Chains A and B, each alone.
Chain A
Amino acid sequence: MIVAELKPFEEIKEMLGDYQKVLVLGCGTCVSVCLSGGERQAELLASAIRMARKIEGKDVTVGEKTIMRQCDPEFIDEIKDEASNYDVVLSMACGAGVQGVSQNLGKIQVLPAMNTKFIGLAEGEGTWTEACAACGDCVLGVTGGICPLATCPKGILNGPCGGTKDGKCEVSPELPCAWVRIYERTKDLGKLKEVKKTIGAKDWSRKRRPGRYSVKEKETVKS
């Protein structure tokens, strides 16, 4: 799941400048799940904008709305009419959502309220850690299901490096060394031999930007 966090309020306030009619748009999927950009947070942000403006003695109309996903045009269509009443949409989605809304709403300025952080894994109540670097060439099959790219600060494919100490990373004493974890896990699985092999250079051509994935195109190539 994509994890994002709210930008500092000062930055949001500055972005919004003197816009009079602001639609705060929550997203009902990833950012709801990571407790940062769903309906509840949209309500708090709207409240903050109203307060800040009033304190400055400036008028503002703040609308609040949350749609299922901001990365799908069909969901964005639901708010087309309503959005036309506003000067600006403040999107609380990940970067993809912000662009989805921007491209589908026509001539309305869309601003990002969030900083998109990573693809993460839940660690229980309210905490996520990065787990996938979206490299396009997955190695989890030989690393015991632990990604060295996303969980090792250096992202090295053959570790550990000399910076590991008592199972922790030199970057932070709280951070477990990704390669020690990989070693322990593959040992438990009886697959230590696999991980002792050198992993060759990754095929970074698969990480061409902009990334693109189309089921239709794949099928055309096959036939």
Chain B
Amino acid sequence: MTTVNIPPCQAACPIHTDVRGYVSAIGKGDAEGALRIIRQVNPLPSVCGRICTRLCEKACRRAQVDKSISIRALKRFAADRAKGEKHVEKPLNSYEEKVAVIGSGPAGLTATHDLALLGYKVTLFEAQKVLGGLLSEGIPDYRLPKKMVKKDIDDILSLGIQAKTGMSLGRDFTLEGLLKEYQAVFLAVGSQKSLIPACAGSNLPGVMAGVDFLKQVSKGKPFHPGKSVIVIGGGHTAIDAARTCVRLGCPEVTIVYRRTLDEMPAGREEVEEAEEEGIKLIYLAAPVEFSGNGKVKSVKFIRMKLGEPDKSGRRRPVPVEGSEFEMKADTVILAIGYAADAEALAKNGLEIGKKGTIVVKDARGTTHIKGVFAAGDVVSGPLSVIEAMASGRKAAYAIHRYLRNISDEETEESVELRSLDDRISGLISPAERQKMPVCNVEERVRNFDEVELGYSREQAIREALRCLNCGVGASIEENCASCLNCVRICPYGIPVPGKETVEIDISQCQACGICATECPASAIKLNIETKAESRAELEKVIDAAREEAPEMLVIGFYCRYGSPLGAPFEEDEVYWIPKLCTGRVTGSLLLYTFELGADGVIVHMCGDDGECRFRDGSRRIGRHVREAQKVLRDTGMGADRLNIVHVQEDYPGFREKLGTLNINPLRRGKKVKI
């Protein structure tokens, strides 16, 4: 078993997306690269980029400094902006076995995708006319446009999936019949049943389930909820139903929730947006009776107070005696949750649990029928989209192992990085979280157009650069001479003398790279922007520059944090290379630039010490430049070929001196070979 350090965001994500990896790619302006990383584990990037419940953001350590990275918005940016290249991977194998997947919600779609990539022939069955399950029918367009769901599904189908819509298990086919044609079956039929509160009048016309309401609207059926609507519940469905009513022209929409905002499963932004749209929220109240003559007219509520925490860790609401009050309503929408409803599958020989779920034998979704697997809501009860996807993935691999008769794979043990120490979080400079641009209220309440507009390129890059790069900092190699140089120069005081070598706590390291560039034994390895990567990038830039054959070739290094949107200034002969802090530019990298044939090198100084993202990096570069200048002077190359520039106005002076030195004597003609 191997042990790997993983950042908290990746550990928290049910499908363990390499969040740090794709956020870093966006920081470089590389949406294509970001989407490639996302798609390695996530076949629904456009969907998750909009409606994921983002456990990653709750785990993000940037929140210890100011606010978490806006990870979901960055995923959406990658999914929306990457184009020109197909990111869907191709199957590596091709097996004869056929697998049937029943249900095309997130669990079914993920399993379909994974099984197809593993090399199986997959047929996807969906009872409704459109694929996607609740993604297509249960979430309104203003939050998740159907065309985005379709985009992700089309990519999955491009793997050669046969999709059969309007085909319902039990109505159109049986499990027994399927098993004759397919070697394995995966059941992911989701949660079908809405929960109804046990109080009088809940069956009155005008009282309806939230999911049913959203499905009707989504199918385009005309629906007029009347003048006043009460929505009961505090989850995404409750907010979605209320905001949908606003868009249908309903003037008075009130959400009543039995706990407080703090316990609400819906996202804080969603609640804020709902309030902006004129929706009223009443907390700490629960319905006791629906009344009306032939149709609901009013709802009696009772006030609640919060008691002891329940199993979910949230404080249990307790009724306050004698606090009943009444509210008028033309329509009441119940969105207090839903549950699996697999009773009908019992006649297929499946074991059904008390809560209407399919009983499975293990965490991989093996049912009591050979070759039949189940996962998602139908096994666990309601899950978030990302959790359902994770269960679909687990089942897909269980099916693969079953069909190939292979035992469980060895798993990696991952160690999650611990929180930042208060001392360290206090040293990290705050950077404001980018606000998601939204459609203005007056306009958005009139239609179902998407409310969130997505980050601009500039916003996405700025947001991505807020990432603390957890876990890719410095690590000590065995040739450490324990010279303690790093101990003395780390701006965060993280390296400490250890028993044999210096020790660096990777959970606290900020990945500035200062220690590594100054280590006399080159015994500190950086796990981001490594020495090899830096050299390779330099070679690439110089190769490309040679093609253009400029009269003078000048390489410029600049800080990505100081100039997030690109080169700090333009000059014809300057080819720029961004660095995560110019302090990472070592003397040897500067000299290598000349060995590759550059005539001059400039380093753009990002600012004074106080402005450096890493507190001290900009001061370090001065030393590296002087070190390389000495070699240039000693060898007769001329120290004036290299300098620091603070602003574009410094450039002409540098260029003039460079002119007196002529071309790099190591450059012979257009192409230089070392």
Chain A interfacial positions (CB closer than 8 Å to B): 8-10, 28-29, 32-36, 38-41, 43-44, 47-48, 50-52, 54-55, 66, 68, 122, 124-126
Task: Pull 9 A–B residue pairs with CB atoms less than 8 Å apart, ordered by A.
Answer: A34-B520, A40-B588, A44-B627, A52-B634, A52-B636, A54-B666, A55-B665, A66-B522, A125-B488
In the complex where A51-B595, A54-B666 touch, is A125 in contact with B489 (Cβ < 8 A)? Answer: yes
Q: Give chain B residues whose Cβ lies under 8 Å from the Cβ of A66.
A: 479, 521-522
CA A48 to CA B666, docked complex, whole Å: 12
CA A33 to CA B519, docked complex, whole Å: 9
Q: Give chain B residues whose Cβ lies under 8 Å from the Cβ of A34.
A: 483, 520
Please determine whether A29 and B481 come into contact, CB atoms closer than 8 angstroms.
yes
Please determine whether B520 and A55 come into contact, CB atoms closer than 8 angstroms.
no
Please determine whether A52 and B521 come into contact, CB atoms closer than 8 angstroms.
no
**Majority secondary structure, A binding face:** helix
Please determine whether B522 and A43 come into contact, CB atoms closer than 8 angstroms.
yes
Does B594 interact with chain A (Cβ within 8 Å)? yes
Q: Mark B477-491, 1 if CB is under 8 A from A, else 0.
A: 001011111001100
A75 CB, nearest partner CB in chain B, Å? 11
Q: Give chain A residues whose Cβ lies under 8 Å from the Cβ of B306.
A: none
B490 CB, nearest partner CB in chain A, Å? 11
- Which of A32, A47, A55 has a CB less than 8 Å from the CB of B591? A47
Q: Give chain B residues whose Cβ lies under 8 Å from the Cβ of A41.
A: 520
Closest to B481 in A: A32
Please determine whether A47 and B479 come into contact, CB atoms closer than 8 angstroms.
no
- Which of B481, B518, B631 has a CB less than 8 Å from the CB of A48? B631
Q: Give chain B residues whose Cβ lies under 8 Å from the Cβ of A40.
A: 518-522, 586, 588
B517 CB, nearest partner CB in chain A, Å? 9
Please determine whether A28 and B479 come into contact, CB atoms closer than 8 angstroms.
yes
- Which of A8, A35, A52, A68 has a CB less than 8 Å from the CB of B483? A35
Does B182 interact with chain A (Cβ within 8 Å)? no
Please determine whether B520 and A33 come into contact, CB atoms closer than 8 angstroms.
yes
CA A30 to CA B323, docked complex, whole Å: 80
New contact pairs (11) apart from A35-B483, A51-B637, CB-CB < 8 Å: A9-B631, A33-B483, A34-B483, A39-B522, A40-B518, A40-B522, A47-B631, A51-B591, A51-B666, A52-B634, A125-B485
Please determine whether A47 and B595 come into contact, CB atoms closer than 8 angstroms.
yes
A98 CB, nearest partner CB in chain B, Å? 18
Please determine whether A124 and B488 come into contact, CB atoms closer than 8 angstroms.
yes
Q: Mark B302-344, 1 if CB is under 8 A from A, else 0.
A: 0000000000000000000000000000000000000000000
B513 CB, nearest partner CB in chain A, Å? 14
Closest to B592 in A: A47
Does B7 interact with chain A (Cβ within 8 Å)? no
Please determine whether A47 and B637 come into contact, CB atoms closer than 8 angstroms.
no
- Which of B485, B588, B635 has a CB less than 8 Å from the CB of A55? B635
A202 CB, nearest partner CB in chain B, Å? 33
Does B587 interact with chain A (Cβ within 8 Å)? yes
Q: Give chain A residues whose Cβ lies under 8 Å from the Cβ of B588.
A: 40, 43-44, 47
Q: Give chain A residues whose Cβ lies under 8 Å from the Cβ of B586.
A: 40
